[in-house]
Amino acid sequence: MNVTFLGTGTSVGIPAIGCQCPVCQSTDPRNNRRRTSLYVQAGGTHLVIDTPPDFREQMLTYRVPRIDAVLFTHAHADHIFGFDDIRRFNAMQDAVIPAYGSASTIADLRRIYNYVESEQDPGVYRPQIDFRTIDRRVQVGGAVVEALPVEHGSKPTHGYVVRAGGVGIGYFPDCHRLEDSVVSQLAGLDVMILDGLRHRPHSTHLTVAESVAYLTRIGARQSYLTHMCHDLDHAATEASLPGGIRVAYDGLVLDV
């Protein structure tokens, strides 16, 4: 399995527009964070998790060649506002592309992108999407995808576990709290990627310390923080973490 971090930043992206802080002004490319998204090649299947506003640039930068399915964690703007650009993959692959999410996320996508299923103006270049609700587990090509509920404010939100070829990765970019039952289902993962917004508490995200506590309990072979804000300098934050827990950055590739 191959995993590429397409974006690791919180909703505004880093640098934040107009911000003069040291992280936003940093010359370390690892402090440049597009909105969170993950590209997973698993069992010959190409999956993208979320289509943030930076989706088009992420596809161009990392030369994603095809998408067999898109998984949506939830319908916050920073995770869905690149959705329209899926249409390039429809054209290249000459195929409808399935989009998976919770019933609530799919309902939000259908409402916000209501032209996708419209019969009007048949010549218009729209994404061709097969919306599919995922409650628990589904086979997507050569990968098994499992959806797990997380607490993240009022929007019903999923984390995803993707398994193929005997390895498993967990991707939970937006999370404030995990149920004990979910934590125990994550045992034995090879890679676990979890929300680690900042040090100060937040009502819908995990702090670095809270995230580290969950990651330690889960005990994956490799653990990564994502969805960071500009409070977190890459090098300084990584140096402060326990062994086995790293800070993800845009363009990081894991060969699992």
Residues found near Zn ion in the complex (CB under 5 A): 16, 19, 21, 24, 76, 78, 174, 230
**Shortest approach of Zn ion to residue 54 CB, angstroms?**
12
What the block records as the tokens of 185 is 């289902």
In 3D space, the residue among 216, 195, 219, 215 whose CA is nearest the CA of residue 206 turns out to be: 195
Rounded Cα–Cα distance for residues 131 and 16 (Å): 32
What the block records as the tokens of 73 is 């964690």
In 3D space, the residue among 162, 8, 2 whose CA is nearest the CA of residue 70 turns out to be: 162
Whether 102 and 134 have beta carbons less than 8 Å apart is answered as yes
**Shortest approach of Zn ion to residue 206 CB, angstroms?**
12
**Shortest approach of Zn ion to residue 16 CB, angstroms?**
5
By beta-carbon proximity to Zn ion, the closer residue of 198 and 230 is 230
**Shortest approach of Zn ion to residue 195 CB, angstroms?**
8
**Shortest approach of Zn ion to residue 201 CB, angstroms?**
16
Rounded Cα–Cα distance for residues 112 and 152 (Å): 20
Distance of CA 21 to the CA centre of its chain: 26
| Strand pairing report for 143-150 and 157-164 | antiparallel
Rounded Cα–Cα distance for residues 163 and 54 (Å): 26
What the block records as the tokens of 138 is 């589904």
Rounded Cα–Cα distance for residues 172 and 152 (Å): 10
Rounded Cα–Cα distance for residues 83 and 223 (Å): 28
By beta-carbon proximity to Zn ion, the closer residue of 154 and 181 is 154
Number of neighbouring beta carbons within 10 Å of residue 199: 14
By beta-carbon proximity to Zn ion, the closer residue of 78 and 250 is 78
Rounded Cα–Cα distance for residues 36 and 228 (Å): 9
**Shortest approach of Zn ion to residue 217 CB, angstroms?**
22
**Shortest approach of Zn ion to residue 9 CB, angstroms?**
9
